[in-house]
Chains A and B, each alone.
Chain A
Protein backbone atom coordinates (compact mmCIF):
# COMPACT_ATOMS: atom_id res chain seq x y z
CA UNK A 1 0.00 0.00 0.00
CA UNK A 2 1.88 3.06 -1.28
CA UNK A 3 -0.35 5.78 0.23
CA UNK A 4 0.61 9.16 -1.28
CA UNK A 5 3.38 9.17 -3.87
CA UNK A 6 5.10 12.34 -5.06
CA UNK A 7 7.54 12.76 -7.93
CA UNK A 8 10.17 14.00 -8.31
CA UNK A 9 11.75 13.96 -4.85
CA UNK A 10 14.39 16.49 -5.82
CA UNK A 11 14.55 19.07 -8.60
CA UNK A 12 16.78 22.00 -9.46
CA UNK A 13 15.43 24.62 -11.87
CA UNK A 14 16.69 27.83 -13.36
CA UNK A 15 14.61 30.97 -13.04
CA UNK A 16 11.91 31.02 -15.69
CA UNK A 17 11.81 27.27 -16.28
CA UNK A 18 8.60 25.34 -15.83
CA UNK A 19 7.90 22.02 -14.21
CA UNK A 20 5.10 19.85 -12.85
CA UNK A 21 5.06 18.05 -9.53
CA UNK A 22 3.05 14.86 -9.65
CA UNK A 23 1.02 13.39 -6.81
CA UNK A 24 -1.02 10.21 -6.68
CA UNK A 25 -2.90 8.48 -3.87
CA UNK A 26 -4.26 4.96 -3.76
CA UNK A 27 -6.64 5.33 -0.81
CA UNK A 28 -9.69 6.43 -2.82
CA UNK A 29 -9.69 9.76 -1.00
CA UNK A 30 -11.92 12.61 -2.13
CA UNK A 31 -9.73 15.54 -1.09
CA UNK A 32 -6.18 16.36 -2.10
CA UNK A 33 -3.86 19.21 -1.15
CA UNK A 34 -0.61 20.89 -2.04
CA UNK A 35 1.41 22.60 0.70
CA UNK A 36 4.78 24.29 0.63
CA UNK A 37 7.20 24.54 3.52
CA UNK A 38 10.07 27.00 3.48
CA UNK A 39 13.11 26.33 5.69
CA UNK A 40 12.27 26.73 9.37
CA UNK A 41 8.68 27.67 8.62
CA UNK A 42 5.28 26.06 8.83
CA UNK A 43 3.19 24.59 6.03
CA UNK A 44 1.22 26.89 3.76
CA UNK A 45 -1.65 25.72 1.62
CA UNK A 46 -1.19 26.40 -2.09
CA UNK A 47 -4.22 24.74 -3.69
CA UNK A 48 -6.67 22.05 -2.75
CA UNK A 49 -9.23 19.87 -4.44
CA UNK A 50 -12.35 18.75 -2.61
CA UNK A 51 -13.29 16.26 -5.29
CA UNK A 52 -12.45 15.16 -8.80
CA UNK A 53 -12.92 18.05 -11.19
CA UNK A 54 -12.78 20.83 -8.59
CA UNK A 55 -9.87 22.93 -7.38
CA UNK A 56 -9.64 25.96 -5.09
CA UNK A 57 -6.99 28.45 -4.07
CA UNK A 58 -5.29 28.17 -0.73
CA UNK A 59 -3.19 30.75 1.12
CA UNK A 60 -0.41 31.19 -1.45
CA UNK A 61 -1.67 30.27 -4.95
CA UNK A 62 0.21 32.89 -6.99
CA UNK A 63 2.70 31.41 -9.43
CA UNK A 64 1.10 27.95 -9.40
CA UNK A 65 -1.54 26.03 -11.28
CA UNK A 66 -3.08 22.68 -10.42
CA UNK A 67 -4.95 19.95 -12.15
CA UNK A 68 -7.06 17.22 -10.59
CA UNK A 69 -6.69 14.74 -13.41
CA UNK A 70 -8.85 12.08 -11.79
CA UNK A 71 -9.63 10.95 -8.28
CA UNK A 72 -6.13 9.55 -7.79
CA UNK A 73 -3.95 12.32 -9.18
CA UNK A 74 -3.39 15.99 -8.34
CA UNK A 75 -0.55 17.82 -10.07
CA UNK A 76 1.08 21.16 -9.29
CA UNK A 77 2.64 23.22 -12.07
CA UNK A 78 5.09 26.07 -11.88
CA UNK A 79 4.85 27.93 -15.20
CA UNK A 80 7.82 30.24 -14.67
CA UNK A 81 9.83 29.31 -11.63
CA UNK A 82 11.23 32.01 -9.35
CA UNK A 83 13.82 31.75 -6.54
CA UNK A 84 11.03 32.57 -4.05
CA UNK A 85 9.48 29.22 -4.94
CA UNK A 86 12.45 27.33 -3.54
CA UNK A 87 10.79 25.14 -0.95
CA UNK A 88 9.72 21.64 0.02
CA UNK A 89 6.38 20.75 -1.48
CA UNK A 90 4.06 18.27 0.21
CA UNK A 91 1.06 16.62 -1.32
CA UNK A 92 -1.61 15.24 1.00
CA UNK A 93 -4.94 13.49 0.73
CA UNK A 94 -7.92 13.07 3.00
CA UNK A 95 -11.14 11.12 3.09
CA UNK A 96 -12.97 14.36 3.98
CA UNK A 97 -16.35 14.50 2.33
CA UNK A 98 -19.16 17.06 2.39
CA UNK A 99 -21.48 14.17 3.15
CA UNK A 100 -19.82 13.42 6.47
CA UNK A 101 -21.49 14.67 9.63
CA UNK A 102 -18.21 15.64 11.25
CA UNK A 103 -15.24 16.15 9.00
CA UNK A 104 -11.97 14.43 9.73
CA UNK A 105 -8.80 16.49 9.66
CA UNK A 106 -6.54 13.51 9.13
CA UNK A 107 -4.25 14.14 6.21
CA UNK A 108 -1.97 11.55 4.65
CA UNK A 109 1.23 13.12 3.37
CA UNK A 110 3.70 12.21 0.69
CA UNK A 111 7.44 12.29 1.40
CA UNK A 112 7.84 15.74 -0.11
CA UNK A 113 9.51 17.20 -3.18
CA UNK A 114 12.51 19.42 -2.57
CA UNK A 115 12.66 22.16 -5.22
CA UNK A 116 15.51 24.62 -5.68
CA UNK A 117 15.19 27.51 -8.11
CA UNK A 118 18.47 29.21 -9.03
Chain B
Protein backbone atom coordinates (compact mmCIF):
# COMPACT_ATOMS: atom_id res chain seq x y z
CA UNK B 1 0.00 0.00 0.00
CA UNK B 2 1.49 3.32 -1.07
CA UNK B 3 2.14 5.77 1.73
CA UNK B 4 3.31 9.31 2.08
CA UNK B 5 6.94 10.06 2.91
CA UNK B 6 8.08 12.86 5.20
CA UNK B 7 11.29 13.63 7.11
CA UNK B 8 11.18 11.99 10.53
CA UNK B 9 12.27 15.08 12.43
CA UNK B 10 13.30 18.70 12.03
CA UNK B 11 14.76 21.32 14.31
CA UNK B 12 14.28 25.07 14.12
CA UNK B 13 14.56 28.23 16.18
CA UNK B 14 11.96 30.75 17.13
CA UNK B 15 11.23 33.28 14.41
CA UNK B 16 12.47 31.11 11.54
CA UNK B 17 10.43 29.81 8.63
CA UNK B 18 10.01 26.04 8.52
CA UNK B 19 9.26 24.04 5.39
CA UNK B 20 8.19 20.40 5.62
CA UNK B 21 7.88 18.42 2.40
CA UNK B 22 5.77 15.31 1.88
CA UNK B 23 6.03 12.94 -1.09
CA UNK B 24 2.81 11.27 -2.24
CA UNK B 25 3.39 9.72 -5.62
CA UNK B 26 -0.03 8.08 -5.84
CA UNK B 27 -2.38 10.72 -4.54
CA UNK B 28 -5.85 10.28 -6.00
CA UNK B 29 -6.58 12.59 -8.93
CA UNK B 30 -9.43 14.45 -7.31
CA UNK B 31 -8.25 14.48 -3.70
CA UNK B 32 -7.07 17.41 -1.68
CA UNK B 33 -3.70 17.17 0.04
CA UNK B 34 -4.23 17.85 3.71
CA UNK B 35 -1.92 18.63 6.62
CA UNK B 36 -2.43 18.10 10.33
CA UNK B 37 -0.71 19.12 13.56
CA UNK B 38 -0.68 16.96 16.67
CA UNK B 39 0.38 17.80 20.20
CA UNK B 40 1.07 15.09 22.81
CA UNK B 41 -2.06 13.48 24.26
CA UNK B 42 -4.31 15.24 21.75
CA UNK B 43 -5.96 14.26 18.50
CA UNK B 44 -4.67 15.65 15.19
CA UNK B 45 -5.78 19.14 14.29
CA UNK B 46 -6.46 20.25 10.69
CA UNK B 47 -4.05 22.95 9.48
CA UNK B 48 -4.54 23.43 5.76
CA UNK B 49 -5.42 21.66 2.54
CA UNK B 50 -5.03 22.34 -1.14
CA UNK B 51 -5.39 20.84 -4.58
CA UNK B 52 -2.64 22.57 -6.56
CA UNK B 53 -0.44 25.70 -6.62
CA UNK B 54 -0.43 27.67 -3.39
CA UNK B 55 -2.88 27.99 -0.53
CA UNK B 56 -2.45 30.30 2.45
CA UNK B 57 -4.40 30.72 5.65
CA UNK B 58 -3.75 32.43 8.98
CA UNK B 59 -1.58 29.55 10.17
CA UNK B 60 0.44 28.25 7.21
CA UNK B 61 0.99 28.09 3.48
CA UNK B 62 0.86 25.01 1.32
CA UNK B 63 2.73 24.66 -1.96
CA UNK B 64 1.75 21.93 -4.42
CA UNK B 65 3.55 21.50 -7.77
CA UNK B 66 1.66 20.80 -10.95
CA UNK B 67 2.37 17.05 -10.87
CA UNK B 68 0.96 16.82 -7.29
CA UNK B 69 3.54 14.22 -6.34
CA UNK B 70 4.65 16.25 -3.35
CA UNK B 71 3.57 19.15 -1.19
CA UNK B 72 5.37 21.55 1.14
CA UNK B 73 3.91 22.93 4.34
CA UNK B 74 5.41 26.30 5.24
CA UNK B 75 5.16 27.67 8.78
CA UNK B 76 6.23 31.32 8.93
CA UNK B 77 8.09 32.62 11.98
CA UNK B 78 7.65 29.57 14.22
CA UNK B 79 7.34 29.85 17.98
CA UNK B 80 7.88 27.34 20.79
CA UNK B 81 4.19 26.47 20.64
CA UNK B 82 4.65 25.10 17.10
CA UNK B 83 6.63 22.18 18.53
CA UNK B 84 4.48 19.24 17.44
CA UNK B 85 4.20 16.39 14.96
CA UNK B 86 3.02 17.33 11.47
CA UNK B 87 1.30 14.86 9.16
CA UNK B 88 0.32 14.97 5.53
CA UNK B 89 -2.70 12.97 4.50
CA UNK B 90 -4.15 11.69 1.31
CA UNK B 91 -6.05 8.91 -0.37
CA UNK B 92 -3.44 6.66 -1.91
CA UNK B 93 -5.57 3.60 -2.37
CA UNK B 94 -7.09 4.30 -5.75
CA UNK B 95 -10.44 4.24 -4.03
CA UNK B 96 -11.91 7.39 -2.65
CA UNK B 97 -11.98 7.22 1.10
CA UNK B 98 -9.02 5.27 2.50
CA UNK B 99 -7.22 8.15 4.21
CA UNK B 100 -3.77 7.05 5.32
CA UNK B 101 -1.48 9.16 7.49
CA UNK B 102 2.25 9.18 6.94
CA UNK B 103 4.67 8.67 9.81
CA UNK B 104 4.74 12.38 10.53
CA UNK B 105 7.51 14.94 11.02
CA UNK B 106 8.46 15.77 14.59
CA UNK B 107 9.27 19.48 14.66
CA UNK B 108 11.21 20.86 17.62
CA UNK B 109 11.39 24.64 17.93
CA UNK B 110 14.19 25.93 20.16
CA UNK B 111 14.50 29.31 21.91
> A and B from one assembly?
yes
B37 to chain A, nearest CB (A): 12
Known: A102-B32, A105-B31. A50 touches B90 (CB 8 A): no
Contact with A along B25-68 (1 / 0, CB 8 A): 00010111110100000111110010100000000000000000
Contacts of B49 in A (CB 8 A): 104-106
Q: In chain A between 7 and 38, which residues have their CB closer than 8 angstroms to a CB of chain B?
A: 31, 33, 35
Pair count A-B, CB < 8 A: 79
A74 to chain B, nearest CB (A): 13
Contacts of A109 in B (CB 8 A): 43-45
Instruction: Tell me whether B43 and A105 are in contact (CB under 8 A).
Output: no
A117 within 8 A of B: no
A101 to chain B, nearest CB (A): 7
Question: Quick one: which of B46, B51, B91, B103 contacts A106, CB cutoff 8 A?
Answer: B46
Instruction: Tell me whether B31 and A45 are in contact (CB under 8 A).
Output: no
Instruction: Tell me whether A42 and B32 are in contact (CB under 8 A).
Output: no
Instruction: Tell me whether A48 and B51 are in contact (CB under 8 A).
Output: no
How many residues on chain A are close to B (CB under 8 Å)? Answer: 30
Cα distance A105–B33 in the bound complex, in angstroms: 7
- 29 A-B pairs in the complex with CB atoms less than 8 angstroms apart: A33-B99, A42-B87, A42-B101, A42-B102, A42-B103, A43-B87, A44-B101, A45-B99, A45-B100, A45-B101, A48-B99, A58-B98, A58-B100, A92-B43, A94-B99, A98-B96, A101-B30, A102-B32, A102-B51, A103-B32, A103-B91, A105-B90, A105-B91, A107-B34, A107-B46, A107-B99, A111-B42, A111-B43, A112-B42
Q: Which residues of B line the A interface, CB within 8 A?
A: 1, 28, 30-34, 36, 42-46, 49, 51, 85, 87, 89-91, 95-104
